[in-house]
């Protein structure tokens, strides 16, 4: 007897998402994922000054706040034929890198850990650590509902293991705000760094700023190496079955990024049915068979058969997964492979592999960011200014990166006005509904998932979805 379980709203993600599943015999047999919020960002930009895109497109999402700024600026630089000097690119990569790492902290601790760790273990604490004691006191006396109300499921209940991760849950928030101050020092503020303009970065970089950045980097490194990576491994060891749950089509796509020093840190490309190919934009097509848009691409909330605001991009007609795992697999990253080998886990798409890929990526990024700091040259320009009054016509495309995957912004302008703006965003690739006759990436990975703990909710489905780090505001925009 099959049963319908709808999870709405899905919490601890960015935005509004609904998952409907058909469950039969304790397994998911059918699934529909709906993006539930639409604003019309691409329409807001039409008829505006091209450079406005740098500020408005950036605001499509407040979680991945710097990445859209960079992607739109790259598109604008192609439009104005005005690339940034090397220093400007280095500074942007410094902002992006710090953002990506601290975003992974947010994803793991704030968004994912509550699915795996029993926080109430803190009430059993009997040691002398004042930080943990004050947390215990806080939970016991104020009874915060956002912590105490949780889903039915299996959690890590060993007190000392759980407490270590719980303490880092709070520490992660502190490190994140420190990371944000590092971003703000170069980019003016975070979220939404205004110093990123086409042509480079406006900030006057002084040695003390880079020293502060270095200090932030050290703190982030310590947390990554001493807390984040070990905690990911602990969770992975407790839930090895998740190396086989949440498997997508195993098609991957990543953009070539972090190339301010010449060689890109992340190689780009497509892995399609086991074959690696060079990415070519001509093979990308956005479908909206099951999305709330009419044939002209305009919003149509009453469309029959549609169930999501998200569109379905396909590469050569196939649904491809994007994100840190895609980057690691397309890159063939040895450190990631080693971590997976330590776990005796297959290098393939899975819930836990996505967590491990983020951990590996942070380590890789950190090494690179120290190189970036060393490569910055004082006295050389950080920006080649764009002449804002030029009535520019043409087009530009920015290929960039978000914590959640590969990011593309496209701009077309006529006589100094935007005529078309298009964003192809990581969560669109992953969370798009059925398109071209195929289920979306995440839908595919939920099919067959076990549902064991509740008849009206599913912690397992939540875990799979969160492993993709969904950003629905981005995906629909």
Question: In terms of CB distance, is 162 or 272 closer to other proteins?
Answer: 162
What is the C-alpha to C-alpha distance for residues 449 and 410, in angstroms, rounded to an integer? 37
Integer Cα distance of 72 and 53 in angstroms: 7
Which of the ranges 147-155, 219-227, 322-330, 444-452 carries the binding residues for other proteins, by CB under 8 A?
147-155
Do the Cβ atoms of 258 and 267 come closer than 8 Å? no
Nearer to other proteins, 348 or 457 (CB): 457
3-class state of residue 199 by DSSP: coil
Q: Say whether residue 383 binds other proteins (CB under 8 A).
A: yes
Q: 423 has which bridge partners?
A: 409
Q: Which of 30, 167, 192, 230 binds other proteins (CB under 8 A)?
A: 192
The residues in 121-140 that bind other proteins, with binding defined as CB under 8 A, are: 134-135, 138
Does residue 191 belong to the site contacting other proteins (CB under 8 A)? yes
Site size toward other proteins, by CB under 8 A: 97
**Residues in Cβ contact with 112 at an 8 Å cutoff, skipping those fewer than 6 apart:** 12, 355, 463, 466, 467
Q: Which token pair is 456?
A: 């009206």
Nearest distance from residue 152's CB to other proteins, in Å?
A: 8
The sign of the torsion formed by the CA atoms of 409, 412, 413, 419 equals negative
Tell me which of 204, 262, 263, 282 binds other proteins, using CB under 8 A: 204
128 vs 142 by CB, closer to other proteins: 142
Query: Under the criterion CB under 8 A, does residue 215 sit at the interface with other proteins?
Result: no
**Residue 214 near other proteins by CB under 8 A:** no
Q: Which span sits near other proteins by CB under 8 A: 189-197, 234-242, 326-334, 346-354?
A: 189-197
Site for other proteins in 388-447 (CB under 8 A): 388-389
Nearer to other proteins, 7 or 356 (CB): 7
Residue 349 near residue 247, CB atoms below 8 Å: yes
Give CA separation, 187 vs 31, 89, 214, 261, 345, in Å. 41, 13, 15, 20, 40
- Answer for which of 28, 32, 33, 44 binds other proteins (CB under 8 A) is 44
Note whether 473 binds other proteins by CB under 8 A: yes
Which 69-98 residues touch other proteins, going by CB under 8 A? none
Distance, in Å, from the CA atom of 273 to the CA atom of 277, rounded to the nearest integer, reads 10
Compare residues 156 and 183 and give the one whose CB is closer to other proteins: 183
Token pair for residue 287?
């479908």
Per CB under 8 A, contacts with other proteins among 311-350 are none
Q: Is 4 in the site for other proteins (CB under 8 A)?
A: no
- Kindly tell me which residue out of 200, 313, 396, 470 binds other proteins, with binding defined by CB under 8 A: 200
Instruction: Give the Cα-Cα-Cα angle 459, 461, 464 (nearest 5 degrees).
Output: 110
- 200: region left, alpha or beta (phi > 0 left; psi from -120 to 50 alpha): left
**Nearest-angstrom CA–CA distance, 477 and 467:** 21
Q: Does 462 bind other proteins (CB under 8 A)?
A: yes
Longest CA span, the chain: 72
Residue 297 interacts with other proteins (CB under 8 A)?
no
The reply to whether 203 sits near other proteins by the rule CB under 8 A is: yes
Using CB under 8 A as the binding rule, whether residue 384 contacts other proteins is answered as: yes
Q: Which of 22, 30, 133, 181 binds other proteins (CB under 8 A)?
A: 181
Residue range at the interface with other proteins (CB under 8 A); choices 183-191, 259-267, 339-347, 407-415: 183-191
Using the contact rule CB under 8 A, the part of the chain among 1-9, 275-283, 342-350, 399-407 near other proteins is 1-9
Sheet of strand 394-402: strand arrangement? 394-402, 405-414, 417-424
CB of 99 to other proteins, least distance (A): 11
Element (H, E) at 455: none
Judge if the upstream peptide bond of residue 161 is cis by omega within 30 degrees of 0: no
Q: If binding is defined by CB under 8 A, does position 197 make contact with other proteins?
A: yes
Of 65 and 355, which has the nearer Cβ to other proteins?
65
d(CA 417, CA 30): 45
The torsion angles phi and psi of 173, rounded to 5 degrees, stand at: -65, -40
Interface region with other proteins, contact rule CB under 8 A, candidates 34-42, 249-257, 270-278, 400-408: 34-42
> Of the candidates 109, 163, 156, which has an alpha carbon nearest to the alpha carbon of residue 139?
163
Instruction: Determine which residue in the list 2, 385, 452, 453 makes contact with other proteins, applying CB under 8 A.
Output: 385
């Amino acid at each position: 007897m099959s049963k319908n379980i709808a999870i709405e709203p899905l919490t601890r993600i960015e935005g509004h998402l609904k998952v409907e599943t058909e469950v039969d015999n304790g397994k998911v047999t059918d699934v529909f994922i709906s993006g539930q919020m639409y604003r019309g960002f691409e329409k807001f930009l039409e008829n505006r000054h091209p450079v406005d895109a740098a500020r408005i497109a950036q605001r499509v999402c407040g979680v991945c706040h710097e990445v859209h700024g960079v992607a739109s600026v790259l598109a604008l630089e192609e439009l104005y034929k005005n690339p940034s000097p090397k220093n400007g690119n280095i500074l942007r990569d410094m902002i992006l890198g710090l953002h990506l790492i601290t975003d992974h902290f947010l994803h793991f601790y704030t968004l994912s850990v509550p699915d795996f760790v029993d926080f109430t273990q803190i009430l059993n604490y009997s040691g002398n650590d004042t930080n943990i004691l004050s947390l215990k006191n806080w939970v016991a006396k104020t009874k915060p509902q956002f912590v105490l109300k949780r889903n039915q499921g299996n959690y890590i209940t060993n007190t000392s293991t759980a407490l270590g991760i719980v303490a880092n849950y709070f520490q992660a928030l502190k490190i994140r705000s420190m990371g944000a101050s590092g971003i703000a020092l170069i980019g003016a503020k975070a979220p939404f760094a205004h110093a990123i303009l086409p042509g480079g970065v406006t900030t006057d970089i002084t040695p003390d700023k880079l020293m502060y950045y270095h200090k932030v980097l050290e703190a982030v490194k310590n947390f990554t190496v001493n807390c984040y990576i070990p905690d990911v491994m602990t969770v992975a060891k407790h839930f090895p079955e998740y190396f086989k749950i949440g498997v997508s089509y195993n098609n991957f796509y990543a953009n070539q990024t972090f190339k301010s020093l010449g060689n890109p840190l992340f190689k780009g490309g497509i892995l399609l049915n086991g074959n690696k190919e060079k990415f070519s934009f001509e093979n990308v097509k956005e479908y909206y068979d099951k999305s709330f848009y009419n044939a002209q691409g305009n919003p149509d909330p009453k469309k029959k058969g549609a169930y999501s605001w998200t569109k379905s991009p396909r590469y050569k007609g196939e649904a491809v997964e994007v994100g840190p795992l895609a980057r690691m697999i397309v890159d063939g990253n040895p450190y990631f492979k080693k971590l997976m080998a330590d776990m005796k886990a297959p290098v393939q798409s899975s819930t836990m592999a996505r967590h491990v890929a983020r951990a590996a990526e942070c380590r890789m990024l950190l090494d690179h960011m120290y190189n970036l700091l060393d490569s910055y040259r004082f006295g050389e320009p950080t920006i080649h200014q764009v002449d804002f009054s030029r009535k520019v016509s043409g087009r530009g495309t920015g290929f960039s990166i978000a914590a959640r995957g590969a990011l593309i912004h496209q701009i077309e302008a006529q006589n100094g006005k935007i005529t078309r703006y298009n964003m192809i965003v990581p969560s669109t690739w992953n969370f798009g509904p059925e398109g071209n006759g195929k289920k979306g990436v995440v839908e595919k990975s939920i099919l067959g998932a076990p549902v064991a703990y509740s008849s009206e909710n599913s912690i397992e489905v939540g875990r799979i979805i969160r492993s993709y780090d969904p950003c629905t505001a981005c995906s629909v925009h």
